[in-house]
Amino acid sequence: MEQMSQPVEPAPVESQPDAGLHHEIRAWARDLVIAAGLAAVIIVFFYQPVKVEGTSMAPSLSDQERIFINKFVYHVGVIERGDVVVFWYPLDRAKSFIKRVIGLPGDLIEVRQGRVFIGGQALSEPYVPAEYTDFSDYAPLRVPPGEYFVMGDHRASSNDSRMFGPVAASYIYGKAVFAYWPMTQFGSISSAASASEKSAAPGK
């Protein structure tokens, strides 16, 4: 008698772990590590956290406020009027100050009753509230080439170029760009150039 062979059913295939998901997780983890490394490099080489000491930049910056300064920006760009800059104090390089750039090289600076004039034209300064101004005078001064006239926003309590003169560009080593503490001050720091023209432990 002829026997018929029974068809052999294929053995069930066990489902393998989702290799695609694991690969995707590893890729995300790798990208996260790379991003963290790049962020660390950027912060270390391009940015520096500093603490503001004093009230000379009030109300824009407050005493003990923490900010980041960009240490690289002026290697590729120019210092502009309205920039908030950090520099070595010309009379003692062991100290750093933070002020706002008011006069550029070649500008004729004058202060009359607390009002700043550049080339005979009054400078719009929305960052200086009335209660932070003073009524002092400063005789006309031509800012030398390669130097900048800087002032604090709190004019009544700022030790600035009115006292120690213009600051050489080589002394300016950073631009204030971002405040991170306290959280109420969190955000970018405006250069105020658009408002005024187009209309470490810094401080003292």
| pLDDT digit string, tens, across residues 102-159 | 999 999 999 999 999 999 999 999 999 999 999 999 999 999 999 999 999 999 999 9
CA-based R_g, the chain, Å: 29
Cβ contacts of 194 within 8 Å, gap of 6 or more: 82
Mean pLDDT (whole number) for 29-35: 81
Mean pLDDT of 155-184: 95
What pLDDT shows up at residue 198? 34
Q: What is the pLDDT of residue 199?
A: 34
Q: Which CATH number fits domain 49-196: 2.30.42.10, 3.40.190.10, 3.40.1180.10, 2.10.109.10?
A: 2.10.109.10
Domain boundaries, the chain: 49-196
Cβ–Cβ under 8 Å, residues 174 and 48 = yes
Active site residues: 56, 99
Q: Which tokens in the block code for residue 119?
A: 């080339």
Angle at 40 between CA 34 and CA 42, to 5 degrees: 105
The reported pLDDT for the residue numbered 12 is 56
pTM passes above 0.85: no
SS3 sequence of the chain: CCCCCCCCCCCCCCCCCCHHHHHHHHHHHHHHHHHHHHHHHHHHHHEEEEECECCCCCCCCCCCCEEEEECCHHHHCCCCCCCEEEEEECCEEEEEEEEEEEECCCCEEEEECCEEEECCEECCCCCCCHHHCCCCCEEEEECCCCEEEEECCCHHHCCCHHHHCCEEHHHEEEEEEEEEECHHHCEECCCCHHHHCCCCCCEC
What's the pLDDT score for residue 27? 77
Percent of the chain scoring above 70 in pLDDT:
81
Q: Which residue has better confidence, 141 or 186?
A: 141
